[in-house]
Amino acid sequence: MLIARLIADPQDLETRLDAATAALEGEGMRIAAAVMLDFCGDVLQIMLPNGDPATLRRVLDTHFAPSDLLVSAQEIAVPRLFVSDMDSTMIGQECIDELADFAGLKDRVAAITERAMQGELDFVSALTERVGLLAGLPEDTIATCLADRIRPMEGARTLVATLKSKGCRTVLVTGGFHHFADPVAEDLGFEHVVGNRLTVVDGKLTGGLVGGIVDSAVKRRVLVEEALRLGENVPTLATGDGANDIPMIEAATWGIAFRAKPKARSAADGWIDRGDLTAILSLLGIPRDEWVAG
């Protein structure tokens, strides 16, 4: 069984569904049912007895873009674990780029960040290079940057608060820094944080990091280990936007790419391209009257 849940522009929805149905039949995939969910009125649920998830995502993307989508080979339910990336996912900025702006290096650092997120550069090497450029920056610049530049992504607080109200454990895992991630996690309501630590000596950044680097392998390991602590085969949800989130997204029961780079989007079970982070709640089937304002 395949289940697709889709939020798209309601205009001509039926016409586009007819076209998608024909395209899927051309791929040997037959739709068994397509209904609007009673408890989430803007969500179209499409059910197929069998088929290839990647083909289903491709066809629905062709006919409904921009959309919010989740495709699953099992019944969709509230996850027991939610693990999310931070930069450009739970917050609207890339922290290292904004911090580099205080050193007059934003364009240079942002270019490296973009290439790393696209999967064009090795993440560890790219992070090491960018952090090195921050050497000599006063540590208190971070607090200024956090206050002036860093803002939650729309819907982030409600997403986290609602999942927690349903008994879901929430973990923020980032290739960014605890200096930013700890206050962001506290603000958004995450229960645990995994991130990198900047080295500070005499109140200034040294351009180095303390301990191991949180890369894509660490992100995946965090998801797997946190899930095992909750029990065998617990349903998990992961969100991210860049190439270093792909292993985590692929390891989750449901991996959702949020306004993501192409490689991350193509690796995910679904994506949020149209709405804010609360669209994830609708795709999970949580009625709006059960959402918790964060």
Contacts of 149 (CB under 8 A, 6+ apart): 93, 98, 101
Q: Which two tokens stand for residue 279?
A: 């669209």
In one-letter notation, the amino acid at residue 90 is M
Instruction: Give me the phi and psi of 78, to 5 degrees please.
Output: -65, 130
Amino acid found at 115 = R
Q: Output 58-64 pairs: Cβ under 8 A, ≥24 positions apart.
A: 59/20, 59/23, 59/24, 59/27, 60/4, 60/6, 60/20, 62/20, 62/23, 63/16, 63/17, 63/19, 63/20, 63/23, 64/6, 64/8, 64/9, 64/16, 64/20
Q: Which residues pair with 196 in a beta bridge?
A: 177
| Amino acid, single-letter form, for residue 74 | Q
> Which residue matches tokens 């290739």?
175
Task: Establish whether 85 is a catalytic residue.
Answer: yes
Token pair 């790219």 is found at 126
DSSP state of 290: G
Read out DSSP for 95-132? HHHHHHHTTT-HHHHHHHHHHHHTTSS-HHHHHHHHHH
- Taken in order 155, 158, 161, 165, the sign of the CA dihedral is negative
Query: Could you say which of 68, 85, 97, 269 is catalytic?
Result: 85
Q: Is 87 a catalytic residue?
A: yes
Instruction: Identify the active-site residue in 87, 241, 245, 273.
Output: 87
Residues involved in catalysis: 85, 87
